[in-house]
Chain A
Amino acid sequence: MSVRPLVLALFVVVASAPSAWAEQRGQAKEQVEFGIQVAQRGLWKEAIFRWERATQLDPSYAAAFNNLAVAYEHQGQLAKARAAYEKALTLEPNNALVRQNYDLFKEINDRAAQKDGGQL
């Protein structure tokens, strides 16, 4: 049995993997950029749709998770916002901009959480 075709197939798969990843990242980036445009016009639901799509296309895209978190926060979906921020920070722990967003979010979220504690 010849090993050559197998090696060749493996080579093709390995060689094409980065380009496939780049293509997916490219598509995700398009979704993220479009999401930013619509968010700037106040169309937050559309922005959420775009950024969710971006995270599906490229689950390692921290910016998409960050933007999604901001949109959830704007919609008052605080639990979802927290999860998205935490995912973004898991992907890019040293990203100062994501960290800053998350700190600001936590400040508000803590205030909202206080209400539940204060309820008799």
Chain B
Amino acid sequence: MTARLRKTADSFRRTAGRGPRHAYSSVLGWGGRAKLTLCLALVAALVACTSYTEIPIETPIQPKLDVTPFQRIFIAGFIAGANEDVDANAETVRLLRSQLRNKGIMRVIDADILPLLEVAKPSGETPVPPAPDQQAVAPVQAPDPSKPPVFNDEKDLEPYNHIFANVAYWKRIGEEFQQPLIVTGSVLFAPQQRSGFVQREQEVYDSFGRRQVVPVRTYMERKGFVLRPTFIFIDGRTGETLHSETFREEILYNANQQTPALSSYFELMDRLLPAFLNTLSSQKIKGTRTLLK
């Protein structure tokens, strides 16, 4: 045993005495050294091939509308019904005015919100008398004129849309406010409920106790809100529509989650505000790109 140890030590000393290069070759052998060299070369090649640098960039997006002829902007109001706890008309006017003021894009006119629902009230407002056979079944309740209407989908808004094409009306409003750029439109903010299969990730542990995350499809009841605003930009000098844009955002939560309607409204508006602002001023979109060598 002692002799064998001495022999090994001698062998090691002999190898070490020949310098690192020889020691290295004796440990790996010629085949091993070739493999290692090849691996190093491959790694070097890989590093050389994937030599890159990440760089932050800001892409300027030109405004969608030329607003140079206008000094002032008037967020006039929106066709929006009462839903949940949110007055979508008042909230949208307030939010857009404050955003425009903060960005200093144009001078914002601070005036009362126009009563567009009153102005645009459909002409055939008188309730249609029910058919005789229906009359016998149940009495039809006429809508309460003192309460604002409830809009649940786009069709509910249609009878009011004619107001936006009323050039004379908007020209008169323009004259009243010294011919600003007028912003109006409609805001549909409605609750929605959806059920179906949702894919989510679930933690599982296998028989060896290893953690894994696997996608699992589960049936879920979800509820939330849909926000569908249409922004119409009207020339206060002529009363004509310059630009119109419709957005749609929705948010869904677990059915047992209680989220206030107002916070959902702001979350959804927050998503589309950059696009709204980009109509009036150039925006810079921040991002990261890869530069290659």
A residues touching B (Cβ–Cβ < 8 Å)? 29, 32-33, 36, 39-40, 62-63, 66-67, 70, 73-76, 78, 95, 97-98, 100-101, 104-105, 108, 111-112, 115, 118-120
Contact = CB atoms under 8 A, between A and B. Distances in A.
- Would you call the interface of chain A mostly helix, strand, loop, or mixed? helix
Interface in B162-208: none
B292 A97 contact: yes
Given A32-B293, A97-B292, A120-B244, 6 more contacts: A66-B292, A67-B291, A70-B289, A70-B291, A73-B59, A97-B290
B64 A118 contact: yes
Interface string B245-288: 10000000000000000000000000000010011000001010
A111 B290 contact: no
Contacts of B290: 66, 70, 97, 100-101
Interface in B37-58: 50, 52-53, 55, 57-58
Interface of B: 50, 52-53, 55, 57-62, 64-65, 241-245, 275, 278-279, 285, 287, 289-293
Nearest to A63: B292
A76 B291 contact: no
Contact of B292 (A67, A73, A105, A118): A67
A95 B292 CA distance: 11
B182 to A, nearest CB: 14
B289 A101 contact: yes
A70 B64 contact: no
User: Shortest 3 CB-CB distances between A and B: which pairs?
Assistant: A63-B292, A115-B64, A76-B60
21 contacts: A39-B55, A40-B55, A63-B293, A66-B290, A70-B57, A70-B289, A74-B57, A74-B58, A76-B61, A95-B292, A97-B290, A97-B292, A101-B289, A111-B275, A111-B285, A118-B243, A118-B245, A119-B64, A119-B243, A120-B241, A120-B244
